[in-house]
Structures are given as structure tokens and as C-alpha cells.
Structure 1
Amino acid sequence: MLSRNLFSTAFRHASRPSRPIAASFAQPYLMRLTPSQLRSLSTQTRAAIDQAVASKPVVLFMKGTPETPQCGFSRASIQILGLQGVDPNMFSAFNVLEDEELRQGIALAPIKIYEEGR
């Protein structure tokens, strides 16, 4: 009896539709920033971020490089991309430690990994 209840509970949870992607994630990067955050970014930094996001189907802003991540989140992100079977030729990683203005600009973004520009 207990195993049937556990199975039915697990089945109900597994059969639920996943949550829809939040509308804010579907908007382009600069559309999610507040006016004050937009003013704090230089035109050059805005253009660099938008160009980077548009460069490949999957873009990751990280500390370090895919070969030598400099923090646990960056390492975990690379591992997740690998586990999901993302082709290394299909994604681009940008080391935010190399460019302070890029680092400050991308720090304003709610997410640091983008798929198809979103």
C-alpha cells in the first residue's frame, strides 16, 4: 500500500508539465535592464554584450575559461553544458575577468548564460 502511494505521488509529479519560461528570460538582454542600469553601461559595453550574445546559439559569461574555470559556478555551468550534450563548437564562453567593464555590465544581468540570444 505504501509503495503504491509513493509511486502514484512520484508519477503525478513526473507527469506535471514543466514551468513555463519566465517572460523576462524571453526578452533580449538590454530589455530586462532598468533605465538606471542602462545609463550606467557605456554604449561600447552594451554593443559588446549584445554582439557576444548574438555570436553563437549558446553563450556563457563566466569567470575563467571552459578549460580552466575560476569559480564553482563557472565549473558547474561547463559541466552542465557537457552533460546536456551541447556541442563545444556551438557555444561560446567569455571570461569576464579579462574585461572589468564587461564584468560590471554583465553583473547587471539576471542570467549569465544565453540560448539563441535569450
Structure 2
Amino acid sequence: MPVTLRHVQPDAGHKLRQLETSAAELERAARESIPPELLPQPAPRHLRTLASKANAYGKVPLSYLQRARKTLRRWAKPVAGAVRATVGLITETAFYVLLALGGLFVLAALILLLAPPA
């Protein structure tokens, strides 16, 4: 239920009005105390002109954007497939290298355990 002055006790409503008035006075005093050199200044005219020209030059016809989008869509699936295949091959290679190293470790441990002392 929203809180309005109708649903607030009369003394609380009066205090709320006083608070709002005090806050408005404080805000006005704070705005007046800001030195003029700290106030935001409008951009110089030549910068506004430059910005509008840059905005006008930056507009690209929609047909170019549509062609670029279609090209990216056409190349996205094969590239994604190639990346997946490459990651799969690297993962499989790492697995077999670790398997071979594990086998060599076991073989070296058996040789050390079973070899006669020198």
C-alpha cells in the first residue's frame, strides 16, 4: 500500500512537510554555493559542429550492414566447427600423452623394484 499523507498520522504528515521544505531549501543553498567555474559549461560551437559532422559521416547504409551480417553468419558455423574439432583433437592428444607417461612411470617403478641391487 503506498504511503500518502492521507494514510499518515496528522503530526507525522506535518513533520514530513517540514522535512520536504527543509530539503528543498538545503538543495537551493547547495546549488547557490557552487562556484561558477565548477558549473558544467556547454561545449564550444566548433566541437558541437564537429560532433554533428562525425555523426553524419558515421552513418552506414543498412545494405552494407546486412551484407556483413550475412557473411558473418555464413562463416560462423564452419569456424565454430573447426574450433570444436581442434579443441577435441588437442584434448585427445593430451589424454594419450598422459596415458603414455603413466605407463612409462609404472614401467620405471617396476624396474626399480625388481632390479637386483648393484
Structure 2-normalised TM-score? Answer: 0.23
Higher relative contact order (CA 8 A, sep 6+): 1
Relative to its length, the structure with more strand (as a share) is 1
Relative to its length, the structure with more helix (as a share) is 2
Structure 1-normalised TM-score? Answer: 0.23
Larger radius of gyration: 2
